[in-house]
């Protein structure tokens, strides 16, 4: 069971569009992935779902549970300030430790307005996931200059699409 | 003008205690640093202070302004899940870009319950700060097994105290 | 087929001792791993085995070939100056690209005289291996204060031994 | 006193060309930097200048001495296999510890054939230099697709040249 995480709570994000496109691609390969959209986190998430309140937020608990039940993940990671969005790490900080991710497997794909494609974001996340005991697929596509690669809400750049296609197959077999 | 950032919104945190102790030490050297305590972020911070709402939250704006006016920073960084707390990066994502940190200088100190002392957290933060144009002091003390190093709310471990003392002097001169 | 890389060319290194011990442990699990000992690199390696001379050094070519034929690797990584030994990366720079490591799998274990246990070394190596298309096992034991953990040329610390044992089984199944 | 390190021992490298160009630019600002060219390392460097033989190689010792006397450095860092060249780290491993770099300051500039511009190489190096106590200038230009940016042995790309110019001034003042 694969779950896709749309890694920002920014409204109407390109990240969300890419999550939807990735879901389609995985469906074409016979998977039926759900999407966790960080835009749907409770507004008071940082107050009501962390630390001593972990696991007590009824609005967040179903998402937390879905993360725990999933066996594989695809993280869609926009680059914010040279790394991943803070909200994505905050989300990770609210998960049940250590059972949620330990021994699981994930893929990640980066996107950026600029020239880096989330390369540092994905390096940092790999450190975190390995620390938490989750294996990371080596192939991590970097979608640079993302706005120039999309049309009608979907990535259309051929080279990027090929990387995504290869990665989608790889995470299924990983 | 130096500002200290207590890098978590966890209640009654050791991080906050260390921020207060660091403030005292800097005062002993003639500085008068303010503390930004992430525990005081608005509860709906992730909804009301990011992206298209950047700069529109009257509760957060004074903190945002203080960050912009400061010339130097000391970041107190607890290790959460092998890196910095998500809330700390979320806080950075809410600052005015690119003027808040560019050309500024900072120090950071890590603390952890375990054996790493925030080493990866500080490596990731260094990447982010350098990306944003802020210089990072090379000396980054790593306070491991933090609970065994404290008494009555203050670090008492001699070796750790020495590192902090050296760092405090260094950030003043940096 | 698993190959163990002893990640330094320092004479009579603890790294080499650990490589031998790791070989024993893998043999106990039915594997028959060879060891590549960087101490055996040609003395003029940096002159005769890199760049336009890649693949032309008859002394190095058997090692290069063994790396190419192997399917899995265990890297024993001592911490030098806060990262991996330069010689280990130089060794990687001399391998056939991109076929040697792409699609392969590896584990790594860090050791240090001090308190870090090679944590940054292994983070940097993970970046490199993922870039080269090799998957990295999440579990990366960090053997700190290594001299206090060894007796008669073998790690005897119980907790460290347990981590190694778990990792050895994991790389076989990875 | 600034010293420029040409970070590879590859013959006739673009890295060396960039080192020479950087030297000119610093001279235009009144500095008189020397260049350390890793191509000039002794052929048996990995055998004769490391570990118990540190400081005993008469061919290498003048370079080692120059590194120790310098106060500031500019590292020209080509990207090899997603990080810095192994030879550059091996060179660092042969320096006198801890006095060579502690408390010193450096800048670094990355170059690559591909799209990353040495971003990971410079992140890894920053970890190492900070570990060794050397401050790193935040601005780290990333020269991507380097062959398309050069003409007659010099970088001619306007945007890249501007970054280099700003960096050169900054390291003088740092």
For residue B46, the domain's CATH number is: 3.40.50.360
Residue A71, both tokens: 């066996």
State the nearest Cα–Cα gap between C8 and chain D, in angstroms.
10
Structure confidence at residue A145 (pLDDT)? 97
pLDDT in tens, B112-167: 999 999 999 999 999 999 999 999 999 999 999 999 999 999 999 999 999 999 99
State the nearest Cα–Cα gap between C27 and chain D, in angstroms.
31
Question: Strand, helix or coil at C104?
Answer: coil
Burial of A133 (C-beta count, 10 Å sphere; 0-12/13-18/19+): middle
For residue D108, the cross-strand partners are D75
- Among candidates A46, A82, A92 on the partner chain, residue whose Cβ is nearest the Cβ of B81: A92
Domain that holds residue D58: 2-173
Local confidence band at A99 (pLDDT 50, 70, 90 cut-offs): very high
pLDDT in tens, B73-124: 999 999 999 999 999 999 999 999 999 999 999 999 999 999 999 999 999 9
Closest alpha carbon to C69 in C111, C36, C29, C108 = C36
**Disruptive mutation site among A40, A50, A81 for chain B (greatest number of B CBs within 10 Å):** A81
Structure confidence at residue C48 (pLDDT)? 98
Say yes or no for a CB contact (<8 Å) between B120 and C120: yes
The whole-chain average pLDDT of chain B stands at 98
Q: D85 near D47, Cβ under 8 Å?
A: no
Structure confidence at residue C86 (pLDDT)? 98
Question: Which residues from C are below 8 Å from B144, CB to CB?
Answer: 115
Q: Which residues contact C73 (CB under 8 A, 6 or more apart)?
A: C2, C3, C4, C5, C67, C104, C105, C106, C107, C134
pLDDT in tens, C3-41: 999 999 999 999 999 999 999 999 999 999 999 999 999
Say yes or no for a CB contact (<8 Å) between A9 and B50: yes
pLDDT in tens, B22-59: 999 999 999 999 999 999 999 999 999 999 999 999 99
pLDDT in tens, C144-168: 999 999 999 999 999 999 999 999 9
Q: Which residues contact B144 (CB under 8 A, 6 or more apart)?
A: B112, B114, B115, B116, B117, C115
Residue D153's region, left for phi above 0, alpha for psi from -120 to 50, else beta, is left
Task: Count the domains in chain A.
Answer: 1
Q: D105 near D71, Cβ under 8 Å?
A: yes
Say yes or no for a CB contact (<8 Å) between A120 and D120: yes
ipTM for the complex shown: 0.98
Say yes or no for a CB contact (<8 Å) between D86 and C89: yes
Query: pTM (2 decimals)?
Result: 0.98
Structure confidence at residue A80 (pLDDT)? 98
pLDDT in tens, C51-78: 999 999 999 999 999 999 999 999 999 9
Query: What integer is the mean pLDDT of C85-112?
Result: 97
Structure confidence at residue A112 (pLDDT)? 98
State the nearest Cα–Cα gap between C68 and chain A, in angstroms.
18
Local confidence band at A70 (pLDDT 50, 70, 90 cut-offs): very high
Show the low-confidence residues of chain D (pLDDT under 70): none
């Amino acid at each position: 069971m694969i779950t896709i995480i749309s890694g920002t709570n920014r409204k109407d994000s390109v990240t969300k569009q890419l999550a939807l496109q990735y879901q389609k691609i995985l469906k074409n390969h016979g998977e039926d992935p759900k999407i966790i959209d960080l835009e749907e986190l409770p507004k008071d998430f940082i107050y009501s779902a962390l630390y001593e309140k972990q696991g007590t937020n009824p609005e967040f608990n179903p998402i937390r549970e879905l993360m725990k039940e999933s066996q594989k993940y695809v993280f869609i990671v926009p680059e914010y300030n040279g790394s991943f969005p803070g909200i994505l790490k905050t989300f990770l900080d609210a998960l049940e430790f250590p059972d949620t991710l330990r021994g699981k497997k994930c893929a990640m794909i980066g996107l950026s307005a600029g020239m880096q494609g989330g390369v540092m974001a994905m390096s940092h996340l790999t450190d975190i996931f390995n620390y938490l005991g989750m294996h990371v697929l080596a192939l991590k596509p970097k979608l640079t200059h993302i706005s120039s690669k999309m049309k009608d809400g979907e990535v259309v750049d051929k080279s990027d699409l090929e990387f995504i296609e290869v990665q989608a197959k790889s995470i299924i077999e990983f």
